[in-house]
Homo-oligomer: A and B are copies of this chain.
């Protein structure tokens, strides 16, 4: 599975896109969130901290998660400023996980720029990640809502657990779709769903509305990640900025491969064992992998799954009152899978 940030960047090149309409709608609040992020990443004692953070925050992340919080709070009628604090909180958590992910994945590029672990060192990425996480923790405490703290604590645990799970499941052909889903929840959906849910909670929304916001974020995150996995095999390299087959070459067990492995005969299993588990790849292997996934309908089935999750996301929103921002969130879910249709 490749990072969601790549996709986020791709989501935002066209002003007619739902993401851009949300950004325009919340421009003032997003500016306030940006100021909060800059202020809170300062460190009087350790200048390395803002250096590293600014490199990443300044690198053009599209602030999808903060926008989800602002949108959820707005739909639920919130009129205060705690939504800005929580939007900064989720962005800090996201940035902290990116810093640690890049060390764990030994990545050298993120959003088209050298990663912090490459520019400084792994130590700085680990410790600045810890610092940002602790800063996010301070920000959420300032909202004074135990419910918000509970939601974000649980999301943090799901994220960390999913990362460890990915570490052990990444190249293991025994990985099931159930495990894949847990990994995706940790990797993407847990922070999406927490971002939307806390927006409803600080607005004092009724229980069925906060539940709907959680369900929307969860389903959106899963649809998002499955679409990203599919684009790796059939995206337009010029549009996606990724080379076809990167995940395959990096031996990542993404959903289309998991589906193909489940239907593999002995000879096919040997192929997947060699290319994914052992990493012994030769010319023509990517083509053969594509053929196997097509033969078993694995790409179509993964696409159907992504569409089903996007539908779950838009369905969840129907519980909420009519609101133009609600419609933008609905369009966003549609857009995530429109990329693969």
Contact = CB atoms under 8 A, between A and B. Distances in A.
Interface in A75-105: 100, 103-104
B126 A168 contact: no
A168 to B, nearest CB: 5
Given A153-B134, A159-B134, A164 B128 contact: yes
A27 interface: no
B182 A157 contact: no
Interface residues of A, number: 42
Contacts of A134: 153, 156-157, 159-160
Nearest to A167: B123
Interface string A20-51: 00000000000000000000000101111100
Interface in A274-305: none
B168 A48 contact: yes
Nearest to A150: B141
Contacts of A133: 130, 133, 156, 160
Contacts of A159: 130, 134
A244 interface: no
A141 B148 CA distance: 10
A161 B43 contact: yes
Nearest to A104: B123
Contacts of A168: 46-48
A131 interface: yes
Which of A130, A133, A141, A179: most chain B Cβ within 10 A?
A130
Contact of A161 (B45, B137, B149, B167): B45
B141 A126 contact: no
Given A48-B167, A164-B48, A167-B48, A138 B123 contact: no
A144 interface: yes
Contacts of A150: 138, 141
A124 B167 CA distance: 8
Contacts of A165: 45-46
A141 B146 CA distance: 7
Cβ-closest 8 pairs across A and B = A134-B156, A131-B160, A46-B164, A134-B157, A130-B160, A46-B165, A137-B153, A138-B153
23 contacts: A43-B164, A45-B179, A46-B164, A46-B165, A48-B168, A100-B127, A103-B122, A104-B126, A104-B127, A127-B163, A127-B167, A128-B164, A130-B156, A130-B160, A130-B163, A131-B157, A131-B161, A133-B160, A134-B157, A134-B160, A138-B154, A138-B157, A141-B153
